[in-house]
Structure 1
Amino acid sequence: MSAGFSPASLRRLRSWATGLMTDECRIVSHGRPVTDPHTGKATSPETVRYEGRCKVQTSGGLAAENTEGGIVQALGAVTPVWSLYLHLPYGTTGLSPGDVAEITAATDPNLKGRKFRLLNMQSEKTHATACRWNVKEVGNSNEQ
């Protein structure tokens, strides 16, 4: 028996990774704004790109400190930088940078309703077990 890597092992690992995705999300893309001729209100039509299992993941903190500017920097203060990731099942396609994911169900009640803008895919590798995206929270800081 070979001690090397096998396709069956990769299938099991992908299944295990998907099993860790206990939250649910809905990912939409926004089209070009359309102005209602009667109300003058501009809206951006949404297209659903994905609905299903997901996992929100963070990394960083004190190992990735960001020095603030101005008086905060003069006082020697630092702000921890947290990287955010959204994990989706392996093989999830049709998503693009700029799409927005909303957490629709979560085991952590603090996550439900939060929105994340997809920045770039982070899982381009030979033996990927999930589709991982770098994301930024929408409505946090100066993000709209």
Structure 2
Amino acid sequence: MISRRELERMRSWAESLMTDTVRVSAPAGVSVDPDTGAETVASTTLYEGRGKIQTAGGQASQQHNINGYGAVGAFVPEWSLYLHLPVSATGLYPGCEATVTQSRDAALTGRRYRLVNMQSEKTHATARRWNIQEIPGEETP
């Protein structure tokens, strides 16, 4: 039997590995500029704090045929991605957007991900683990 004290210690250890800062937001409506017709999507921040982006080792989960700059119709493996958040990060749901606002890995800062589903429904959870998909950004060659 795991004691409450042991579980808190394990959660603390898991959170110590969450060295990125992540903002999770949900869409909150669309406004349209009457002069230009441009749409602006408003969002509500549901969580902002510690997090960790993680890939699964082993084989890629999917392969996609891509086109575009330098792609030449190549098949590119897509690794499973996960977002780890503290157990206290509740109220999130599939479709929310997570943005890495600060990271020790500069390549992660600014990256955006869509929450797909939570994969850590368990009694002794040490983190909230979400399956995520990267939202492509504006890449320049």
Q: Shorter-chain TM-score category? A: 0.7 to 0.9
- Tell me what 2:40 maps to: 43
> Where do 5+ consecutive residues of structure 2 fail to align?
66-73
Query: Offset at 1:66?
Result: 4.2
The question of 1:7 aligning with 2:10 is answered no
Rounded to whole Å, the distance in 2 between the matches of 1:67 and 1:20 is 29
Name stretches of at least 5 consecutive residues in structure 1 with no aligned partner: 70-76
Match of 1:17 in 2: 14
> What is the percent sequence identity of the aligned residues?
51
Partner residue, 2:93? 96
| Count of aligned pairs | 129
How much has 1:127 moved relative to structure 2? Answer: 0.6
Distance in 1 separating the partners of 2:39 and 2:64: 36
Q: What are the residue-to-residue correspondences of 1:1-144 with 2, within 5 Å?
A: 4-61=1-58, 63-64=59-60, 66=62, 79-139=76-136
Quick one: distance in 2 between partners of 1:95 and 1:87?
12
Partner of 1:101, secondary structure, is: strand
Q: What TM-score comes out, normalization by structure 2 length?
A: 0.82
Structure with larger Rg: 1
Q: Root-mean-square deviation (CA), in Å? A: 2.1
Distance 1:9 1:30, change over 3 A: same
